[in-house]
C-alpha cells in the first residue's frame, strides 16, 4: 500500500518545483514521516514486513511515496488506518525536517519550526 510522504494536513514537496530539489525534499519528508509513525502509532502488528520508497512517474517528473509491505489481516488494516489518520507533523518531526535542511518557506509557505511552541 502506498502512503503519502507527509501527514494529511501538511503541504508536501511538489513535483517540478523550481525553488528546491523536490526529490531530495521528498526523501526528507519520507524519513520524517516514518519516524513520526514509529513514535505516534502503536507498534505494527504481525504481518508488517517493511517500508520502502516508491518512485511514481508523473507528467512533471517522478514523485516519491512511502510504501508499506505487509501480509493482509484485520489487525494490519486497522494499523494502516491509524497511520493514515496522522494529520500534522509533531515537534520531533519538525526538528528532524529543520536539521535536514527542509525547505520550509518554499514548501509550506512559512517557517513552521518557529511556530511550534515545543521547539521554541
Residue 113: its pLDDT value, please?
A: 52
Tell me the whole-structure pTM to 2 decimals: 0.85
What is the pLDDT at residue 120? 41
SS3 content of the chain, % helix, strand, coil (to 5): 40, 20, 40
pLDDT of residue 114: 44
What b/e string do you get for 46-72 counting C-beta neighbours within 10 Å, with b at 16 or more?
Answer: eebeebeeeeeeeeeeebbbbbbebee
Return the pLDDT at 65: 93
Domain around 21: 2-115
Query: Within a domain: residue 63?
Result: yes
- Quick check: is 59 in a domain? yes
**Would you state the pLDDT for residue 60?**
82
Low-confidence ranges of the chain (pLDDT < 70): 110-120
120 within a domain of the structure (yes/no): no
Task: Give the model's pLDDT for residue 16.
Answer: 83
User: How many domains are contained in the chain?
Assistant: 1
Amino acid at each position: 500500500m502506498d502512503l503519502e510522504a507527509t501527514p494529511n494536513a501538511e503541504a508536501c514537496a511538489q513535483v517540478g518545483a523550481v525553488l528546491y530539489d523536490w526529490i531530495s525534499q521528498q526523501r526528507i519528508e519520507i524519513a520524517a514521516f516514518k519516524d513520526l509513525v514509529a513514535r505516534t502509532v502503536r507498534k505494527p502488528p504481525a504481518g508488517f514486513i517493511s517500508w520502502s520508497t516508491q518512485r511514481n512517474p508523473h507528467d512533471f517528473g517522478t514523485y516519491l511515496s512511502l510504501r508499506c509491505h505487509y501480509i493482509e489481516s484485520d489487525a494490519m488494516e486497522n494499523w494502516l488506518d491509524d497511520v493514515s489518520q496522522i494529520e500534522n507533523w509533531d515537534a520531533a518531526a519538525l526538528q528532524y525536517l529543520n536539521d535536514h535542511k527542509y525547505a520550509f518557506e518554499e514548501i509550506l509557505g512559512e517557517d513552521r519550526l518557529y511556530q511550534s511552541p515545543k521547539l521554541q
